[in-house]
Amino acid sequence: MYIQSMATRSTAPTASKLATLVAASTAAAAVVTYNQYENKSVASCGGLPVHGIAGTNQERTFLAVKPDGVQRGLVGDIIARFEKRGYKLVGLKMVWPTQMMAEKHYQDLAKKPFYGSLTKFFSSGPIICMCWEGKDIIAQGRQMLGETQPLASKPGSIRGDYSIDLGRNICHGSDSPEAAAHELAMWFPEGVNDWKKTVDAWVYEK
């Protein structure tokens, strides 16, 4: 099971390391850590399901910076684009996927000839797992990523600005509410954080 694989690849923090980790984490990550260590079994830290509510301002998606984006130092830029647009980050962590996790993530592509190279690449280094929330985030997230093929991606999109090759296109985004639910359940089994963003009245008319 992928969760067991994750556990064997992680180093369990000592109590003192844990305190440092929590202090150094973002507020969102710290809340998740607190809940994990309190042994709370939560689908989300508030009342929402992890995948939010599609079609509302609380729609959620799973976005990831792939191993090439991490290696190329694009994590901050990618997070900043979604933050500046007005979306809310409710889950964030770095994970080094196993081949099995990559296969589960891309299970809908299992019959494609590139499945082996894709999953090998996706498990070749750490990725940044993110859960973003906001109106139309699934479709807008895909637009902000760009097209699958970098050649078709417009400048201004992440892939249009930073990628050239199909198999090194920097980022992943859920392509439907069903995919978002599947992917968020897989990558955030510990839950995410339902926090209120005080500037939302300046982002949303209603």
Question: Toward ligand RTP, which CB reaches closer, 57 or 147?
Answer: 147
Question: Toward ligand RTP, which CB reaches closer, 58 or 169?
Answer: 169
Nearest to 48 by CA among 36, 40, 56: 56
Minimum CB separation from ligand RTP for residue 67, in Å?
11
Name the region of 86 (left: φ>0; alpha: ψ -120 to 50; beta: rest): left
Residues that bind ligand RTP in the complex, under the rule CB under 6 A? 109, 114, 118, 148, 166-167, 169, 172-173, 175
Question: Toward ligand RTP, which CB reaches closer, 29 or 74?
Answer: 74
Minimum CB separation from ligand RTP for residue 33, in Å?
27
172 counts as catalytic = yes
Nearest to 193 by CA among 34, 53, 63, 81: 34
Active-site option among 51, 105, 172, 182: 172
Minimum CB separation from ligand RTP for residue 57, in Å?
23
> 169, 148 in Cβ contact below 8 A?
yes
List Cα–Cα distances, 89 to 111, 147, 182, in angstroms. Answer: 33, 23, 18
Q: Please list the active-site residues.
A: 172
